[in-house]
Amino acid sequence: MRVSILPPCLVLLFSAELAAIPAARYFPLDPGNLWTYVREERPGEEKKVFVIGSEGDLTTVNFGGIVVRLAGPPDALDIELPGEGLVPYYRFGEPAWLHRDFDLCDDGTTLTAKGHDETVKTPAGVFEGCLRLDYSDWRCMDAGKVSEWWALEVGCVRWVEQSIAGPRAWVLKSFDRGVGTHPFLRGDADGDGDVVITDAIFVLNWLFGGGPAPGCLDDTDSNDDGAVDIADPIFLLRFLFLGTAAPPPPGVVASGFDGTPDDPFSCGDPPILGCSGIASSTLSGVGFDLSSIPCILTLDEVSKGVTLVYWTRIEADLPEVVSMPLDVVGCDSPEESGLVVQEVIRGGDQVYCVCDSGRCIPGNGFKRDLIRGAYESRFPWDGRNWYGPSDTSNPEGPPFPPGTYEFTVRAQGTHRAPDGTELAFEVFASVPLRLVR
């Protein structure tokens, strides 16, 4: 028998090339990846999984409203559980392992690999060579998963779970990459950060001259009708030179996300599942953007002091808006945006805010012209209870314990409608904050 031995230099080169090949992933945890699942029996019923982002070795993921953190290489993921830290979650390269989970019915069961070559048909497509994982040692007899199917570089494409009415299956409806990672200006087709005549020319050249395609169709859809065609450069040119209606949100002033995420273009969609927050506004074109607020913080992080950063976005100038102080005795004053804003972190018996600043003379509100733009606000917190300094040097209380709390931002007041009618308004946004050990 003849054995060929590679020279040492070639062995090193070959090893380096192998090391450079990225490991195949059954769970691609890139920020902005969004999976949407539907019930096979009820296609109108949906569940979503969204990768919020990464910090250090930890990746934050929203599983249908439950936010958790994952860590580890692609084939050996750990999950962070309250009071336990990181514990084994998936071991895609092993024949079997003890699976830990945030879902109590799936926690503490054994997962066994039953095959690597199964074919699964879903609304998102047909996936071949899928890994099948079976659950055993069920914690709940009428709930919990039975089997899962995973496709490389896509993720879980199907699972079957128990229910009191019998097994039910969920299948992948769509897999969108990078959702919520592309803030844009409406009409900025060439992506240079300005909305000018060259953007209309860029679209016309792409549509009719064989020019390069836009990087994202959301910012090219100037009239926000869900299609990119000749109507978009015409709409943009009329706005630029005839003073007609401005492109819809996020507008042409401050980068933001699509106000109509149900259109066919997912590249500019907002990270709406980031922290499962809610927002509302009765002041046209004015809103709070809390998408940069972290969903999970450790007790150690907040004890050293954190700053929660958010934005007030104003899409068009609004004259003579009266914003009212919301603290106990009317000490608050307008921020750079022109609004008087109150921020509160609360949940159960815990609360932190600057709600009582001492002795002030309450006024009737602050009248300001709101100027379009994006205005940054910063809210520092050290993880403790407090209601403000008051006029008695009110001390801070004990630290917040582990748990889920709510960070809210609110502004209230009045403004005049075009017909002169005085109308009350409220601008509000809220996101959950989860504190872990």
CATH number of the domain bearing residue 401? 2.60.40
| 13 occurs within a structural domain | no
Identify which of 381, 246, 255, 249 has the alpha carbon closest to the alpha carbon of residue 311.
255
pLDDT of 353 reads 94
Same domain, 121 and 204: no
Average pLDDT for the chain: 87
Residue 398 inside a domain? The answer is: yes
Give the pLDDT of residue 138: 76
Q: What is the secondary structure of 120-137 as a DSSP string?
A: EEETTEEEEEEEEEEEES
* pLDDT of the residue at 81: 87
Query: What are the CB-based long-range contacts (under 8 Å, 24+) for 86-90?
Result: 90/26, 90/27
Percent of the chain with pLDDT over 90: 53
How far is Cα 198 from Cα 202, in angstroms, rounded to an integer? Answer: 6
Domain range for 237 is 182-270
Looking at per-residue pLDDT, the higher value among 129 and 11 belongs to 129
> For residue 203, what are the CA distances in angstroms to 87, 194, 233?
50, 14, 7
Residues 1-57 have pLDDT tens digits of: 333 344 444 333 334 443 433 457 999 999 889 999 999 988 888 888 988 888 789
Span 195-209, pLDDT tens digits? 999 999 999 999 999
The domain boundary, picked from 118, 146, 176, lies at: 176
Residues 216 and 165 both lie in one domain: no
Asked if residue 364 and residue 344 are part of one domain, the reply reads yes
Does the pLDDT of residue 237 top 90, yes or no? yes
pLDDT tens-place string over residues 214-231: 988 999 999 999 999 999
pLDDT digits (tens, 9 = 90+) for 63-80: 877 788 899 988 999 999
Residue 175 makes CB contacts below 8 A (sequence gap 6+) with: 33, 34, 35, 36, 124, 154, 155
pLDDT of residue 365 exceeding 90: no
Residue 18 counted as domain residue: no
Extract long-range pairs of 36-41: CB within 8 Å, 24+ residues apart. Answer: 36/172, 36/173, 36/174, 36/175, 36/176, 37/170, 37/171, 37/172, 37/173, 38/123, 38/170, 38/171, 38/173, 39/168, 39/169, 39/170, 40/168, 40/169, 40/170, 40/171, 41/168, 41/169
Instruction: Write the CB contacts of 268 (distance below 8 Å, at least 6 apart in sequence).
Output: 182, 183, 184, 216, 218, 219, 257, 258
Same domain for 145 and 39?
yes
Judgement on whether residues 341 and 418 belong to the same structural domain of the protein:
yes
pLDDT in the model for residue 361: 65
Give percent of the chain with pLDDT exceeding 70.
92
Q: What is the pLDDT of residue 200?
A: 96
Q: What is the pLDDT of residue 394?
A: 87
Question: Phi and psi (nearest 5°) for 26?
Answer: -85, -15
Task: Please report whether residue 9 resides in a domain.
Answer: no
Does position 236 have pLDDT exceeding 70, yes or no?
A: yes
Q: Rounded to an integer, what distance in angstroms lies between the CA atom of residue 330 and that of residue 328?
A: 6
| pLDDT (0 to 100) of residue 259 | 77
Whether residue 16 lies inside any domain: the answer is no
In the predicted structure, residue 400 carries a pLDDT above the cut 90? yes
Q: Tell whether 337 and 410 lie within a shared domain.
A: yes
Contact by Cβ (8 Å): 342, 375: no
pLDDT of residue 274: 53
The predicted-structure confidence for 291-335, as pLDDT tens digits, reads as follows 788 878 888 889 999 999 999 989 889 999 999 999 887 888 899
Domain count, the chain: 3
Asked if 42 and 141 sit in the same domain, the reply is: yes
| Sheet strands (E) in 341-402 | 342-347, 350-353, 366-370, 373-381
52 and 170 housed in the same domain: yes
Query: Are residues 288 and 232 part of one domain?
Result: no
For the ranges 54-58, 379-383, 390-394, the maximum mean pLDDT occurs at 379-383
User: Is residue 263 domain-shared with residue 286, that is, in the same domain?
Assistant: no
Angle, CA 237 vertex, CA 234 and CA 240 arms, to 5°: 150
Q: How confident is the model at residue 271 (pLDDT cuts 50, 70, 90)?
A: low
Q: Is residue 2 part of a domain?
A: no
Average pLDDT of 166-178? Answer: 92
- Which of 243, 270, 297 is the last residue before a domain boundary? 270
Contact 345, 397 (CB under 8 A): no
Whether 8 is covered by a domain: the verdict is: no
Question: Are the C-beta atoms of 231 and 244 separated by less than 8 Å?
Answer: no
- 116 and 89 fall within a common domain: yes
- Say what the pLDDT of residue 116 is: 92
| Domain co-membership, 252 together with 282 | no
pTM: 0.64
Confidence band, pLDDT 50/70/90 cuts, at residue 374: confident
Boundary (domain end) residue, out of 176, 197, 230 = 176
Q: Which has more confidence, 23 or 264?
A: 264
